[in-house]
Chain A
Amino acid sequence: MTANTLEPTLYEISQAGRIGTNLPKCDVPQTDIPAELLRTELIMPEVGELEVVRHFVRLSQKNYAIDKGFYPLGSCTMKYNPKINEDVARYPGFAGLHPLTDEEGSQGALAVMHQVQEWLAEVSGFEAVSLHPAAGAHGEFAGILMIRNYHIDRGEPHRNKILVPDSAHGTNPATVTMAGLSVIELPSDNNGDVDLAALKAVCEGPERGNIAGMMITVPSTLGLFERGILQIIQLVHDAGGLMYMDGANMNALMGIVKPGELGFDVMHFNLHKTFSTPHGGGGPGSGAVGVAKHLVPFLPTPHVKIVEEADESDEDDAPLYGFYKPEKTIGRMKAFHGNFGMLTRAFAYMAAYGGKGLHEVSRHAVLNANYIRARLSDTYHIPYDRYCGHEFVLEGHFEGVDNVHALDISKRLMDYGIHPPTNYFPLIVPEALLIEPTETETKETLDNFIDVMKKIAAEAHENPELLLSAPHVTPVSRLDEVRAAKQLVLCCAPLLKED
């Protein structure tokens, strides 16, 4: 059986009467459950343990993953996820701790959270960091709500416009709408930076008094350090707006620059990117959010603080930690305290590196990206060919072979055992391929990728059909996505109902 064999669904291997675990007998007297409360039908699979295990192991083998190979997926920071992090997150005191345990019984967990708050604040230069949001987009939402409420609190509720560059992640404009604010889109200039003249025109134009703030990604989604960043921050601050930094690309910045010191007011981290808590095939993430001093009262609730300092004369004494509700909090973003299991992993990750090590992470992430960029620039068109951050964008098409697109290059990479880069993002580059190698990859891996990319470029000219029909060795070939959307099938056959 190979990974390319069709895997039946759980429902297709179900046989009435089977079970995949052994449960304890009832050791208390039974209480009647009134019949009118009970359901009459439950269409669930019935499968033995071995068949369940085989099913999911076979499914796993149909996946690509960091543990299998190179994953240069731009803006996603697919770095190695150290195995020790998975172990520590499963220590019984973390994995088996009820979220509503009294604070005296949660001191170990609170100490982890407080330490992660402090370390992230140090890395980013912010006054305080909340670990409450569950993912990057959730952190963005918290950040924009804080900006909104800051202005309301100052008696300026009319400040409801957020400036967003056209190269931004889609979450940025979507977040603004969710918070009940609206977007003013800013163009990029020919160098991939924000068009300063356009920004100036908005900041000094009729909307000046309505500007709540600006969201910007640093380095930008093109992988470029914004050269006018200090001027941008100044212009927006002068107009009365606050600066939000999308921290998705923090992997380029540790020990390089602290966003809080640049003048940013709020920023989210993606712990599942920069701090290597894994992606999990689509989450969970963790979207910690850092703020400058004037936004601390608006942080999401609850927030961890030291309730009582440790006795300095006793070296075994530890501080007493507890939760508090910030004075003007935007409120609670989710139940309980954030994705705690991701925080234990981030703790272990930062402890393994220390301050100097985190600086090395960013230095090498940027080195790796620039190396690939330099070596592919003779084969591919690189629209902004200057030193990049931790990622860069190239155009996935070739003169004279108009029918080959970025998507085809992506699919052909799969045949060579490499995950494609992010494609068609950022939107402002035609046929974009956004390449982010991360610091954990060896030079040999990068060289192999470079060789493959050059080989694919040659194939595009000599035998474009190889690209157009790719991939050829994956468990499935290209999918009919139109069919999926038009003839919606969203659950297994026994559950399908007529519309």
Chain B
Amino acid sequence: MSYIPHTDLDRQQMLAAIGVTTIEDLFDAVPASHRFPKLNLPESLSEMEIAAEMQALSDANAHAGDYTIFRGAGAYHHFVPSAVNHILMRGEFYTAYTPYQPELSQGTLQATFEYQSMMCALTGLDAANASHYDGATSLAEAVTVALEVSRMKRKRVVLSPFIHPQYREVVRTYHQGRGLDIVGDDKPHTVAELVELLDTNTSMLAVQYPDFLGNIEDMQMLSQKAHAVGALFVMVVNPLALAILKSPADFGADIAVGEGQPLGVGLQYGGPYLGFFSVRNEYVRKIAGRIVGETLDADGRRAYVMTLRPREQDIKRDRASSNICTNQGLMALAACVHMALLGKNGLQQVAKLCYHKAHYAAAQIGKLDGFSIVNQKPFFHEFMVKCPRPVAEINAALIDEGIVGGYDLGQDYPHLKDHMLLAVTETNSKAEIDDLVSILESL
């Protein structure tokens, strides 16, 4: 076996040094009644056979290499420069452990520090951590911060109904043991109705920007209303949109979280992705997860280290607010390299391309008989199309034409039955959009 290098001679010498005759002798503490069960797995495969088998499984999927993708709903098909993958493939990065030994980890630590810096730049907030599992778990951890800020006294959490439905589910999973009063998303409440739900028992109000339906809303009033009752204002944001749009800090947000996948992380059937988490300075000691800070070494050189460690589970144990340790380090590196390559101008160009192409597609589809565009305001990435037939039927027709169509909103929002959420990014050419429009027209 190529990954186990031992020769017979090695084994003999090692067993002799230990003072036993067989490897089996080392397992005397394992209950004899249950020792050495057979593992009913297939025979081992050669590297060639594995590659062939996995290639066949890969080919069985309707992926972005063969299909045009107009589906978003929390995961977006974007262009990623080649250099990103080349950096990720460096063994020095991907075969390293968590940087607990800073003298041997300055590469990971500085890259993480730069990632944190760029997330601060996009959100306008003061500090960011090294990542959470994804956008959904970032939001769930934001709830914990808000509860801690209120010293666990304020049990109400108000969620906008236009936060990603799966994110709202994850908040409920995480906090089911805490007796919280999670409200606001039971039906499509208006902004005024959300404000009505805020009270002095509310620890936070969370909104998504642009929201799940693509709308770009002004968040100033909601932010003020949340603060007026002493609650935190939390924004779930698309980081790419922030390259051009007003930032969470511009609206006075206390915490901005979200899915970093649009920053250089592939679709990968939903993971690994990248949960980002940024806050105003006054809350930085309350947040979970790893944080990298700058310091000096014994010779006075600038260096980086994981800091504020006493918040974490390995030190604080049952008094830690979260158990997170392993996060999405390599995905944070991907985002760091991606943002470095695109830079200020590239990120803004991509965001504008998404904006223009989505609005072009909406304008064309809006002209078709039976289809109408529901969004009244500017939108980013995606928009709602009211369809003349069930979305599943339309998507079945589209997939035959090599197109992965929009997301069926009826499954999450009963009032949006027969509504499709279509996503358009810089990867969709005008020809692809026109093709989509003409197929929809022909249905």
Are B37 and A107 in contact, with the CB atoms below 8 A? no
Are A56 and B337 in contact, with the CB atoms below 8 A? yes
User: Chain A: how many interface residues by the 8 Å CB criterion?
Assistant: 204
Are A335 and B323 in contact, with the CB atoms below 8 A? no
Are B35 and A335 in contact, with the CB atoms below 8 A? no
Choose from A52, A108, A282, A479 the contact partner of B295 (Cβ within 8 Å): A479
**When A31-B360, A100-B75, A137-B326 are in contact, do A443 and B14 touch as well, CB less than 8 Å?**
yes
| Residues of chain B lying within 8 A (CB to CB) of residue A182 | 318
| Residues of chain B lying within 8 A (CB to CB) of residue A108 | 56-61
| Residues of chain B lying within 8 A (CB to CB) of residue A244 | none
Within 8 A of A (CB), among B1-54: 1, 3-6, 10-11, 13-15, 17-20, 23, 25-31, 33-45, 47, 49-51, 53-54
**When A479-B303, A480-B297 are in contact, do A107 and B71 touch as well, CB less than 8 Å?**
no
Are B267 and A97 in contact, with the CB atoms below 8 A? yes
| Residues of chain B lying within 8 A (CB to CB) of residue A281 | 93-94, 96-99, 105, 108, 329-330, 333
Q: How far is the CB of B118 from chain A (nearest CB, A)?
A: 6
Q: How far is the CB of A301 from chain B (nearest CB, A)?
A: 8
Q: How far is the CB of A315 from chain B (nearest CB, A)?
A: 14
Within 8 A of A (CB), among B60-115: 60-67, 69, 71, 73-75, 77, 79, 81, 83, 85-87, 89-99, 101-108, 110-114
Tell me the complex Cα distance, A45–B121, Å. Answer: 10
| Residues of chain B lying within 8 A (CB to CB) of residue A47 | 340-341, 343
Q: How far is the CB of A95 from chain B (nearest CB, A)?
A: 5
| Residues of chain A lying within 8 A (CB to CB) of residue B343 | 14, 18-20, 44-47
**When A73-B97, A282-B99, A335-B135 are in contact, do A67 and B91 touch as well, CB less than 8 Å?**
yes
Choose from B57, B71, B284 the contact partner of A112 (Cβ within 8 Å): B57
Of listed B3, B243, B269, B299, residue having the most chain A CB within 10 A: B269
The stretch of B164-172, B186-194, B367-375 in contact with A is: B164-172
A140 at the interface (CB under 8 A from B): yes
B350 at the interface (CB under 8 A from A): yes
Tell me the complex Cα distance, A353–B3, Å. Answer: 9
A352 at the interface (CB under 8 A from B): yes
Are B318 and A122 in contact, with the CB atoms below 8 A? no
Tell me the complex Cα distance, A457–B28, Å. Answer: 31
Please, could you name 9 A-B residue pairs with CB atoms under 8 Å apart, sorted by A? A14-B343, A49-B81, A107-B60, A256-B35, A279-B326, A331-B176, A387-B20, A441-B5, A492-B114
Q: How far is the CB of A338 from chain B (nearest CB, A)?
A: 6
Choose from B103, B326, B430 the contact partner of A282 (Cβ within 8 Å): B326
Choose from A26, A180, A476, A477 the contact partner of B353 (Cβ within 8 Å): A26
| Residues of chain B lying within 8 A (CB to CB) of residue A196 | none
Smallest CB-CB separation from B77: which chain A residue? Answer: A98
B151 at the interface (CB under 8 A from A): no
Given contacts A225-B29, A332-B169, 17 further A-B contacts (CB under 8 A): A9-B113, A23-B342, A27-B430, A44-B243, A63-B104, A76-B97, A93-B59, A95-B63, A97-B267, A108-B60, A145-B176, A281-B330, A281-B333, A282-B130, A334-B137, A336-B269, A414-B104
Smallest CB-CB separation from B98: which chain A residue? Answer: A282
B206 at the interface (CB under 8 A from A): no
Tell me the complex Cα distance, A389–B309, Å. Answer: 30
| Residues of chain A lying within 8 A (CB to CB) of residue B69 | 98
Tell me the complex Cα distance, A57–B1, Å. Answer: 32
Smallest CB-CB separation from B46: which chain A residue? Answer: A352
User: Chain B: how many interface residues by the 8 Å CB criterion?
Assistant: 206
Tell me the complex Cα distance, A443–B360, Å. Answer: 64
**When A148-B177, A183-B318, A440-B5 are in contact, do A476 and B355 touch as well, CB less than 8 Å?**
no
B356 at the interface (CB under 8 A from A): yes
Smallest CB-CB separation from B331: which chain A residue? Answer: A284
The stretch of A202-210, A361-369, A396-404, A459-467 in contact with B is: A361-369
Within 8 A of A (CB), among B291-313: 291-299, 301-303, 305, 307-309, 312-313
**When A137-B313, A137-B326 are in contact, do A98 and B297 touch as well, CB less than 8 Å?**
no
Smallest CB-CB separation from B360: which chain A residue? Answer: A28
Choose from B45, B93, B101, B426 the contact partner of A414 (Cβ within 8 Å): B101
Q: How far is the CB of A44 from chain B (nearest CB, A)?
A: 4
B418 at the interface (CB under 8 A from A): no
Are B294 and A489 in contact, with the CB atoms below 8 A? yes
Q: How far is the CB of A45 from chain B (nearest CB, A)?
A: 6
- 3 closest Cβ contacts across the A-B interface? A180-B177, A336-B270, A282-B329
